[in-house]
Structure 1
Amino acid sequence: MTSAPTTWTIAQVAEEFGVTHRTVRHYEDLGLITPERRGTQRVYHRRDRTRLGLILRGKRLGFPLEQIRTIIDLFDAPRGRRTQLEYVLGQIDERRDDLEQRLRDIQDAIAELGEFERRCREDLDKLA
């Protein structure tokens, strides 16, 4: 039985998460991940992969990078997990409220568009 690797290359990390090398380097430039450097090669550890997964999940949920940074940094804080979870729950509430408002706005726009379309078709029928 072979054991799982303990380090990964940028190519392996990028492929695993479905992102480009440039994306991985961007998160490194922002200090969100900190791979070990061996000469010019980046060596990613489990911590980097975990952080990259959190970054990408946060992005999918629409969180800005600064909020994602705060969440990740809280994980390293002394109270760590509890503080992180309390903060994340607050952010989830805000994000949900924002998305629900956007959904209402989209539904209103679709209804308005439907009404406008109906009036245009009536006017077109009158011209026929």
Structure 2
Amino acid sequence: MTSPGAEPTIDRRWSVGELADELGITTRTLRFYESEGLIAPDRSGSARSYDHRDHARMRLILRGKRFGMSLAEIREIVDMYNGAASSERRQLRTLLTRLDEISEDLTERRRDLDRTLSEVREVADQCRTRLAELD
């Protein structure tokens, strides 16, 4: 088993349960992304076997979801990569554009939260002051 964040060896294979455990997700999540065509494990009957490529794609998919990307956006970025330097450049440019948008959105949300938190604290202080006056 590899440690979190460590790159697995190229010849490593995972069962559905092993990969789900390693990535901290459910087997249902893996099956969902398979049904969406984002990963394509080898099958032997009903058993699935995931390779290094599936592992890497799942890590990208999960990161995209954490960043708030839609499934369509994740698909576009993940499907763009085919190993060629030109496709990697295009993938990275597309990803950077989306990451800049996400960063701007998160920054705006942080400002909104800071304003709301400040207002909550102000009202709480007013309540404490009034309570002290009533005592």
Same structural fold, with TM-score higher than 0.5 when normalized by the shorter chain: yes
Residues 20 and 27 of structure 2 are in contact (CA less than 8 Å); yes or no, is this contact kept in structure 1?
yes
How many aligned positions are there?
A: 126
- Unaligned 5+ segments in structure 2 are 1-8
Q: CA 1:46 to 1:91, structure 2 compared with 1: closer, same or farther past 3 Å? A: same
Q: What is residue 22 of structure 2 aligned with on the other side?
A: 16
Q: What is residue 101 of structure 1 aligned with on the other side?
A: 108
User: Which whole-Å CA distance do the structure 2 matches of 1:48 and 1:85 have between them?
Assistant: 19
Q: What is residue 7 of structure 1 aligned with on the other side?
A: 13
State the percentage of identical aligned residues: 40
Cα deviation digits, residues 42-74 of structure 1 (max 9, x gap) = 111211111001111112222222211111011
Cα deviation digits, residues 61-110 of structure 1 (max 9, x gap) = 22222211111011138731010000001001000000000100110011
Residues 10 and 52 of structure 2 are in contact (CA less than 8 Å); yes or no, is this contact kept in structure 1?
no
User: What amino acid is aligned across from residue 31 of structure 1 in structure 2?
Assistant: G
User: What amino acid is aligned across from residue 126 of structure 1 in structure 2?
Assistant: E
CA apart distance, 1:20 = 1.1
Please, what is the CA RMSD of the aligned residues?
1.8
Q: What is residue 42 of structure 2 aligned with on the other side?
A: 36
Q: Which of these residues, 31, 52, 56, is aligned with residue 58 of structure 2?
A: 52
- Unaligned 5+ segments in structure 1 are none
Q: What is residue 112 of structure 1 aligned with on the other side?
A: 119
Q: What is residue 32 of structure 2 aligned with on the other side?
A: 26
Q: Which runs of 4+ in 1 moved over 4 A?
A: none
Q: When the two structures are superposed, what TM-score results if normalisation uses the length of structure 1?
A: 0.89
User: Which whole-Å CA distance do the structure 2 matches of 1:12 and 1:20 have between them?
Assistant: 10
